[in-house]
Amino acid sequence: MASQGHRPILAARQLHGEPDMLEQDFHAISRQVDALLKQLRALHAENQRLKQQQSNLFAERDELQRKNELARARVEAIILRLRALEAQS
């Protein structure tokens, strides 16, 4: 059905000595669409990998912050004990 709508264009091009231009244009556009779809899929996959990497980095940051708080609490406890020992002597 769609090809019937293009017949006048095809017929006009054939009159001007360009019988395969419409088909060539179609194939060129088709290749471009295929290339864009391939690029879209690659970008989507890269986006997914980056989101996962970001999630992993946030989790690692949270774990490091937790460990840092524990270390800070231990150091503060040691300092308090040292001050208490110093006050006793």
Cα distances (Å, whole numbers) of residue 16 to 5, 21, 37, 50, 67: 19, 11, 34, 52, 78
pTM above 0.75? no
Tens digits of residue pLDDT in 12-22: 555 555 557 78
Query: Pick the residue with more confidence: 78 or 5?
Result: 78
- The DSSP code sequence of 22-64 is HHHHHHHHHHHHHHHHHHHHHHHHHHHHHHHHHHHHHHHHHHH
Domain boundaries, the chain: 2-88
Instruction: Give the pLDDT mean for 66-80.
Output: 98
